[in-house]
Each structure stands twice: as C-alpha cells, then as structure tokens.
Amino acid sequence: MNHLTIHEIETISQMKAETDKKNLDNISRTDAYFSYFKKNPDIIWSFLASMVSRNGGWNMCDLEGHVFREILEPKTRKELFLTFERANWLIFHDVYPQLLVYQYSTKIKRPMFHLLPYFECSEFIRKEWERYWKEGNTERLTTSLIINEQNVIHTPVIGHPVYKKRVFQSWIFNVQDWLHFSSVLFPTCGGELYGASVNGFKSLSKRINLGKRLARILTHPRLFPLFFDFADKTPHTGSRNDYEQYFKTKTNRNTPILRATFPIMEHKHYEYEDWSKNRVISPAWLYFQARHRHPIHLTDWYFEKSNQLDLMLAFHKTSHLKKI
C-alpha cells in the first residue's frame, strides 16, 4: 500500500469492515443492496441484485418447506443451501466494496477507482467503473457488473469439485433445471409476478444472458415503479409469504422465514484469481441485447409450477408407500 495516503488506507479498512458486517446472511445482503440503490439510483444493478437476492432467500427457505423436506434428504438440502449461500456471499464480498468506492467517488467528486485492486476486484470491472465515470452509460455498467459477478462465482462455486458432484449433478438440480423451477421472480403489491426462468444454470453465458433479461424486465418503464414499491414496502424475510400475501388467490403453502431456519455461516476466504486475466470476454456478453423468448408475466406460470411441485410430492409419497 505504498502509494496510498493514510486517509485512503483508513477508507479501505472501513469499507472492508462495512462489507463484512453486511455480508452476514441473505437478509442483510438483500437489504444492503436495496438501501444502496435508494442512495445511488443510477446504479440499477444494485436494485437488480436486491431482487435476485430475495429470490435466493426464497429458494433457501423452500428447502425447508413442506415439499422439499419430504422429497430430499437433510444432507442434500444442506448442500443446496450451502451452494446458494456461498454464491451469494462471494458476489457480495466482491461487489459491495466496488459500490462503496463509487459512492465515495461521487461524494468527493473525483474517481477513486485506483482503490479497487486493494479489494481484489477484476481488472475488467475496474476499467468498466472508470469508463462509467467518464461516459455515464448505465446500461453498459449494469451489463458489466452482471458479467463480472457471474464470472466471480463460476470457478469457486459452479466449477468446485464438491458442489459439482453433489449439487449440479444431483437429480433434484437437474429436475429443477429441466422444469424451469429455478426462476427469478419480481413481485408487485398487486399480486402479479414477472420474471424469467433459468435452464442451463451451469452455463456461464446462459447465466449472463439471464441477468441481462432480468435487468430489462426490471427497468421496464411501466413495471419499474411497481417493483420498487414492492421492495420498499415488503420486508424481506426469505419466506414465499413475502409475495404470496398479495395474491388474489390464497395459497396453502407455508415456507419458513430465513433467520428462524438457518444459522449464520462462517465463510472461508478463497484463493483469489482475477478471472478476466484467464478468460476471454465474449463480445456477445457485452454487446448483444438479451431477448425474451418466453412471456415475462409469470403469475399463471407460478401457480402451474406450484401444482407441479405438489404433484411431484404426491408421486414421491405414493412410490414411497409402494416400497413399504
């Protein structure tokens, strides 16, 4: 840290402490992203991250809901939870200091992106922040942040030998992938759901494409105020009741709340490698517009998927009884 002033060294230390404090669990991360967006409304990615993080919380809590508790062994549920948690933790650990550096730069009205290497950020994203400071292209920055974060988790989570074998090759993951259960939903206080579903989660390009599609849905001029209103009015607990409470048709499903279900995890730090030095950045990631091949209004789709889950549970129970 030879070339830094004492004030810069202190600033880095404060930012690291703030990142650690807010990277406690899915609830603290979701809230941190949304609070940040309210202070920095040009950083659309932060709102997107808070909405995707809400979905992460629901996915985690679903594992302890009535369907997956019956279908999956406790060990499998734990491994799936740890996969969600690790990916979420890694993304926040990487991106939140970037957000703080940008906020600090706007406060003192000069770019401070030379601090980013001290947080082990990729060279790719440092250049993109500098570019954004000069050009102010919000869409490009949003896309760049999507590209960066999906690359950040690709090797340590998607490519990790343990997760790869126990999670991404497990039957439940492949069934979810095939049935498009792994969807990202943006709810409204009017009880409507919008979003997109993922299949091919293991593919880096497909995850980036999904992120771009979600960003387009989120920023749709008519829908954006509805999503913001939901996020602002609805505390995130991790339970699906957060959005099912607004449905016109009541659901009987009951998913637990996150902090009453899962402990706070201690995360081991990982051997940092700058992904952008070893991986070619595909022009398609940056320059191709994401297309919606499927409808983005998912309210009916959601009820259909819920019924499929209940059928899956019923099938599991009858086949189990036959064995007895």
- The tens-digit pLDDT sequence of the chain (324 residues) is 458 999 999 999 999 999 999 999 999 999 999 999 999 999 999 999 999 999 999 989 988 988 888 878 888 888 889 888 999 999 999 999 999 999 999 999 999 999 999 999 999 999 999 999 999 999 999 999 999 999 999 876 776 555 555 565 565 655 554 444 568 999 999 999 999 987 767 789 888 999 999 999 999 999 999 999 999 999 999 999 999 999 988 877 778 999 999 999 988 877 788 999 988 888 889 888 877 777 899 999 888 877 777 777 777 667 654 444
Contact indicator for 43, 37 with CB cutoff of 8 Å: yes
Contact indicator for 141, 128 with CB cutoff of 8 Å: yes
pLDDT number for residue 199: 72
Burial class (CB in 10 A: 0-12, 13-18, 19+), 301: middle
What HEC string does the chain produce?
A: CCCCCHHHHHHHHHHHHHHHHHCCCHHHHHHHHHHHHHHCCCCHHHHHHHHHHHHHHHHHHHCCCHHHHHHCCHHHHHHHHHHHHHHHHHHHHHHHHHHHHHHHHHHHCCCCHHHHHHHCCCHHHHHHHHHHHHHCCHHHHHHHHHHHHHHHHHHHHHCCHHHHHHHHCCHHHHHHHHHCCCEEEEECCCCCEEEEECCCCCCHHHHHHHHHHHHHHHCCCCCHHHHHHHHHHCCCCCCCHHHHCCCCCCCCCCCCCHHHCCCCCCCCCCCCCCHHHHCCCCHHHHHCCCCCCCCCECHHHHHHHHHHHHHHHHHHHHHHHHHC
pLDDT number for residue 179: 45
pLDDT number for residue 178: 44
Residue with tokens 């989570």: 157
d(CA 80, CA 72): 10
Contact indicator for 182, 197 with CB cutoff of 8 Å: yes
pLDDT number for residue 163: 52
pLDDT number for residue 262: 93
CA 223 and chain centroid, separation: 20
β-bridge partners, 195: 185
Residue with tokens 């404090």: 21
pLDDT number for residue 15: 98
Residue 119 CB neighbour total at 10 angstroms:
20
d(CA 233, CA 230): 5
Instruction: Give the pairing type, strands 193-197 and 183-187.
Output: antiparallel
Structure tokens at 300: 């009916």
d(CA 296, CA 197): 9
pTM of the predicted structure, to 2 decimals: 0.91
pLDDT number for residue 324: 44
Residue with tokens 């669990």: 25
